[in-house]
A and B are shown apart, each in its own frame.
Chain A
Amino acid sequence: MPMIRYLLVRLLGALPTLLAIVTISFFLIRFAPGGPFDQARALPADVVANLNAAYGLDRPLWDQYTTYLRDLAHGDFGPSFRYKDFSVTELIREGFPVSATLGAIAIAIALVAGVGVGVVAALHRGRWIDHATIGLSVVAIAVPSFVLLPALGLLFGIELHWLPVAGWDPTSVRDYVLPVTTLCLPPLAYIARLTRASMIEVMRSAYVRTAFAKGLPLRTIVLKHALRPALIPVASYLAPAVAMTMTGSLVVETIAGLPGIGRYLVQGALNRDYTLVLGMVIVYSTLLIAMGLVVDVLIAALDPRIRLEA
């Protein structure tokens, strides 16, 4: 029961945060210079006036804001200004599953492999395997995805003919390999570093020394005693990482030709596609807030000293 109460209180507390985020974004994008109907060759003034009237942009800003909120409460993100005949809801409903699937797979791999690598490195601190892990992890963080993905495509696609360079068929596993690899490497490296650092810390603590003194095998000490507290920093990192990765990567989706939502945020902001950019901000921040809640529950489960108090 306290758990349900905690979740309810936190979810209710998230609503004002979300409202503030929507409000700030709404007015920021509206006060930015330019508009959705700007083109290289300016449209005639009466055409722009007609467009503005059709999309309700001629009404007072406050009026538009309340209308937007009312539609939003009904789950309607409004029409896209640039993707003619598409509503933002349709665009996101079509693209989000692609980005979210790729992102979820990438994060899952990054979590399992990153923790594994981090633990192994921590247990061999100062030996070659540790140095190799640190070195490789910095490289993985440092290589931009717009270099990594084309390089992988060049090697595995064009030279070796093992994998397709781009394209998307949700049922073909081969299409997933290169984008997922590119997406998962930076978080994998980051999680490995976090795990290594906190594992070294935990292995130095008194209760681990006690466990060794009792004669417990290393395996038991690591898996049953040391790993749980060592995972707390990793859990905190997960919230932004999941929100970021599951809302899609503009670079990866553009280069690999994937029909996700990764490009909408940047495109929407550049084109002043007001509703699209707001829709993306809402998807991102909702995911972030929800993951923040999941992570807090997770941390409480990992560390029995922490009590969930709303």
Chain B
Amino acid sequence: MSAPADERASQAPGIWRDALRRLRGSRAALGAASAIAILVALAILGPHLNPNRYDAIDWSCIAMPPGLEHAHWWGTDPLGRDLFVRTLLGTRISLAVGLLATLVSLLVGIGYGAVAGYAGGGVDHLMMRVIEILSGLPLIFFVILLTVVFGRSEYLLFAAIGAIGWLTMARIVRGQTMAIREREFIEAATAAGAGPVRILVRHVVPNVIGPVIVYATLMVPQIILFESFLSFLGLGIQEPQASLGTLIASGAAEMESAPWMLLIPSAVLAILLISFHVLGDALRDALDVGDL
């Protein structure tokens, strides 16, 4: 964040306009953004393009390979359920889960990090100590306890994963806030009589948003991968619902006899993850935030 950000908001869009221009200049970023847009559109509309339902069993087409001559374009699973519809529905759930968990950790992380970084001193020390202790606990341990408590409510579960996955976000925001706290415009705001809450909300948070967005872009694929691990354990999305993770986990069991059951959802997951990574990298360059 090199551009001077003063009281007047007119400066802030400048950074964003520059970033957007740089982003538009990058072919990789454009490709990644369009890939994500296409997948999101497919995830929302796709299941309606095909007459099959995600949980309907077609007894005449058990484990049918992909093909356009029949109604199951991407084939069927061992129970005869349509994989086109299930994969796109799984994409929708994986995306929703990734975004939801990221959003929650964004909110908690910004709040916690900004307060710690701005308060400094003993408060900061204590708050960082809490983060140190929490990051010493294995994430999967929390998550299993959460599945016990929240059970089958997937969205609640993933909101909870976000609520415990905010540690890195808080660290990043705290570091940024500590640097910003010393800048003149904060002093000016203080002199003008702004209270700590106003300074945090109006002056600190808008200036840490760059690195936060970059990290968030990289966090979405992490959560999606984590969900696939949970699904492998049987703790993620429950049947007959599907996520990319559950589809890949069940496809992996059939990879010898019916490779498409693994390859199709894997390909979608790979495209999604690669696109988010490329977009995150491009954003990092465009906003010039350095290493995270």
List B231-289 residues whose CB lies under 8 Å from chain A: 232-233, 245, 248-249, 252, 255-256, 262, 266, 269-270, 273-274, 277-278, 281
| Interface size in chain B (residues, C-beta < 8 A) | 37
| Interface size in chain A (residues, C-beta < 8 A) | 43
Say whether B248 contacts A147, CB under 8 Å: yes
Residues of B within 8 A of A212 (CB): none
CA distance A46 to B223 in the complex (A): 44
Say whether B145 contacts A32, CB under 8 Å: yes
B148 within 8 A of A: yes
List B116-156 residues whose CB lies under 8 Å from chain A: 129, 132-133, 135-138, 140-142, 144-145, 148-149
CA distance A222 to B277 in the complex (A): 27
Which of B140, B149, B225 touches A266 (beta carbons < 8 Å)?
Answer: B140
Which of B136, B145, B252, B278 touches A288 (beta carbons < 8 Å)?
Answer: B136
Say whether A270 contacts B144, CB under 8 Å: yes
B177 within 8 A of A: no
Interface residues as binary, B220-232 with A (CB distance below 8 Å gives 1, 0 otherwise): 0100010011001
Which of A32, A144, A197, A198 touches B148 (beta carbons < 8 Å)?
Answer: A32
Interface residues as binary, A105-148 with B (CB distance below 8 Å gives 1, 0 otherwise): 00000000000000000000000000000110011011110110
- Known contacts A17-B133, A142-B269: A28-B145 contact under CB 8 Å: yes
Which of B228, B232, B255 touches A154 (beta carbons < 8 Å)?
Answer: B255
Which of B129, B138, B256, B270 touches A281 (beta carbons < 8 Å)?
Answer: B138
Say whether B138 contacts A265, CB under 8 Å: yes
CA distance A270 to B140 in the complex (A): 11
Interface residues as binary, A145-183 with B (CB distance below 8 Å gives 1, 0 otherwise): 011001100100010000000000000000000000000
Say whether B274 contacts A138, CB under 8 Å: yes
B51 within 8 A of A: no
Q: Please indicate which of the listed interface residues A18, A33, A139, A266 has the most CB atoms of chain B within 10 Å of its own CB.
A: A266
Say whether A144 contacts B141, CB under 8 Å: no
B193 within 8 A of A: no
CA distance A158 to B255 in the complex (A): 13
CA distance A210 to B252 in the complex (A): 54
List B139-181 residues whose CB lies under 8 Å from chain A: 140-142, 144-145, 148-149
- Known contacts A147-B248, A201-B290: A284-B138 contact under CB 8 Å: yes
B291 within 8 A of A: yes
Segment among A19-27, A49-57, A73-81, A213-221 that sits at the interface with chain B: A19-27
Say whether B141 contacts A25, CB under 8 Å: yes
Q: Which 5 A-B pairs have the closest CB atoms?
A: A142-B273, A285-B136, A269-B144, A20-B133, A138-B274
Can you report 10 A-B residue pairs in the complex whose CB atoms are below 8 A from each other?
Answer: A17-B129, A28-B141, A28-B142, A138-B274, A141-B225, A146-B232, A146-B252, A151-B255, A251-B229, A284-B138
* 6 more CB-based (< 8 A) A-B contacts, given A144-B232, A281-B141: A21-B133, A141-B273, A146-B252, A147-B252, A265-B138, A285-B137
